[in-house]
Amino acid sequence: MSVYFGPNIRYQGGDYGNAVLTKFPIKRSKNSPLTMVGQGEQRGVIQLVLDARGTDVLFLNTHLDSRKDEAERVGSVDELARIIAAAGKMPVILCGDFNTAPKSQAHVKMKMAIDDTWELIGQGDGFSIPVGRPNKRIDYLWISKATVEPLQIKVLRSDASDHLPVFGEFRLRAAAGK
């Protein structure tokens, strides 16, 4: 497998950011900072073009701002939407901790650019934050459904984090370009 790490800030003598572990070869990679609003942690988005059995797929991974005010998340969603639009007809998969619930301003805006897999085929509530605070869904798998077919999505049980892993299985649609 290949790994790509995108550092966003220095923290306790090391780097803090996002990472992707993939079985598909990475053809191109980029880690871009997202625009900050006020003081907070620098957030970023990993952009990988993966070779999925001969088809280029844009795979994005991010972790958006966690503050109560949605201004930075909404701005980040605008930036993500521009990246997705620039991909044209290339299949797109976007995942990450969006720190926002369904029907929030950031969620509604993101759905204008890409499809929420849980809303397409998920069963139940999809809560990825199960304990210690109100149960909620803030971790997402988004797809360009014209080029990516969702086969399954589920929240797995784990004690490894305060978030539960969200698992998705997809198939590229026949019309997906090379």
Per residue in 34-83, pLDDT tens? Answer: 999 999 899 999 999 999 999 999 999 999 999 999 999 999 999 999 99
pTM of the model: 0.94
Among the residue ranges 80-84, 109-113, 158-162, the one predicted with the least confidence is 158-162
Res 97: pLDDT: 97
Res 132: pLDDT: 63
β-bridge partners, 61: 46, 95
Name the helix (H) or strand (E) containing 9: strand 2-11
Contact 15, 27 (CB under 8 A): no
| Alpha carbon distance 123, 166 (integer Å) | 12
Q: Which residue has the higher pLDDT, 175 or 32?
A: 32
| Pairing mode, strands 92-97 and 55-63 | parallel
